[in-house]
Chain A
Amino acid sequence: MGKKLTNITGRAWVFGKNINTDMIIQGQYLTLLDYKEMAKHAFEVPRPVFATKVKKDDIIVAGSNFGGGSSREEAPKVLMHSGVGCVVAESFARIFYRNSFNIGLPLLIIPNISKLVKDGETVTVNLLEGTLQIKEKGDVIHGQPLSERMLEMLKAGGAVPWFKKNKK
């Protein structure tokens, strides 16, 4: 089963631009074979408190070019294992974008979003509408709706369940 696509509500963790995959999970942890162990080191360099404070359905909000650098699928995986409900950024690096949908982690592109949301604010994401609502203020901010292909992949729970369903 895939992640939920509407009403993903959680606290926002706001980051700047160019958060690369080394910052999400450092190379020194890539030989760990258990994702739960690895997730304890998510965002260790830019936000050392993240791994212990993150709660289910929290939302990552970031500037442009989120997930650049190494192709490591471990980056979206540790976010998924940390309970992150969605990553909303001004733009994503290409491999990270693909990897996230492949494993069933929702992403949403909304221009200027890192300046509109404050760290710690409760926000609600609706992937079908492509929107983010800031709870306390009630503003609904519109982003780029997801393509059919990406929505289908999320509904299936990622590329592997999608593949199993669609082969033959």
Chain B
Amino acid sequence: MGFTLAEKMLASHTNDGKAAAGEIVQARVDLLMVHEVLGSRILPILDEMGFKKVWNPNRVLVVNDHWAPASDINSAEIHRRNRNFVKQQGIKNFCDVDCGISHQVLPEMGLVVPGATIIGSDSHSTTYGAFNAFSTGLAATDSALILATGECWFRVPESLKIKITGDLGPRVMSKDLILNIINELGPDGANYQSMEFHGPTIDAMSVGERMTMCNMAVEAGAKCAPMPLNQDVKFWMEDNAPKKKWREVKSDDDAEYVESLHFNLDKEPLEPTVAPPDLPTNGKPVAEVAGVPIDQAFLGSCTNGRIGDLLVAAEILKGKKVHDGVRLIITPASKKTYMEALERGIIKILMDAGGIVTNSTCGACVGGHLGVLGAGEVCISSSNRNFRGRMGHQDSRIYLASPATIAASALKGVITDPRSV
């Protein structure tokens, strides 16, 4: 019997080289990413443990991204603690408040390669599956134990195979696809499972488009979301991790899956999709919610704040003006993304259209700063969660959509089909 991507990726990191679905294994962690949770929650746990030295300072990335630059005194204190820890432990991979969002900067720094095991103190750490890697989110205690030992126990997940064929269509994005997939699965439809993506549609996607999909797999409960290697990932490795050694991981033809789903986009063309409050799995065709008035449009986050996302928005907004009374907030996913958008004239187009461009941070997506919502306000957002109160006041409302739908809606002041503008 063959093995799935998750089984193979975990097996290569265990002492006996084995990992089959359902087993509990102890596996080596190639890289641990921690953000503000380090300063606020992990350091007190390390004190309790009597911790002295990180197992390998080269295998840790520390990022100050959620409230960057500090939004209040507490976040300033957390950042200060992180800076001290990094210095004390000799950790070179450190992104302070000027870098951007962890899930974007980690790959930009060449810290993910195919076949790697990557753990992040953040649920959206499933994002690195786009690079043919095993990655998942854990929290403070597990991160503390990994910092001390470089290892972690895992229950090897069963895998769900999702095959996608056909084209996305004009102004339909990978965000629309993943909103449809998680709608089909429901909020716990992939709980504890590895969401393994396959098919020519996935193979043809850019790294950014793939990251959007793996990022949101966790909204259906998935533990990880590994994809097969493709050409764009190979190019990414040449550009961003030229000196790293790695080997492609392929699933076996006779690997065992709990279920196999097939989305044939030629047979059933995909519509631009919007997820109304309060669950990311609420996705429905944009036509069903078109016309809902909005106060804010947010283009950013680890889901959809990348160069391709900003470019799509700029194409729609070029030479036009955002609707009166609508705030369009653009938060590029990283400084690198921001700089590239500047050089390509994208930032100018977005600002000419009336957009507010912020520094790179999680910012509004977590209701942290730079676009927090007030009572009764409605936001259409390119981020990943529309839980009640997520972006601010508990009586604000969040609709999730693609960057194209965000831009079109900002233009019209109401939720709008991007193909109509």
Contact = CB atoms under 8 A, between A and B. Distances in A.
Contacts, number: 111
A93 B191 contact: yes
Interface stretch (A3-11, A49-57, A71-79, A121-129): A71-79
A65 B385 contact: no
Interface string A20-32: 1011001110111
Interface string B133-162: 000011111101100100000000000000
Interface residues of B, number: 46
B368 A27 contact: yes
B397 to A, nearest CB: 13
Nearest to B391: A27
Given A91-B188, A94-B221, A30 B40 contact: yes
A149 B387 CA distance: 33
Interface stretch (A96-104, A111-119, A138-146): A96-104
B145 A68 contact: no
Interface stretch (B3-11, B72-80, B256-264): B72-80
SS class of chain B's interface: helix, strand, loop or mixed? loop
A6 to B, nearest CB: 25
Contacts of B49: 160, 163-164
Interface string B50-90: 10000000000000001100011011011000000000000
A30 B138 CA distance: 16
Nearest to B222: A94
Nearest to A65: B188
B366 A27 contact: yes
A95 B40 contact: no
Contacts of B388: 22-23, 45
Interface of A: 18, 20, 22-23, 26-28, 30-33, 44-45, 64-65, 68-74, 91, 93-95, 98-99, 102-103, 149, 158-160, 163-164
The 3 A-B pairs of least Cβ separation, nearest first, read A31-B74, A73-B139, A65-B188
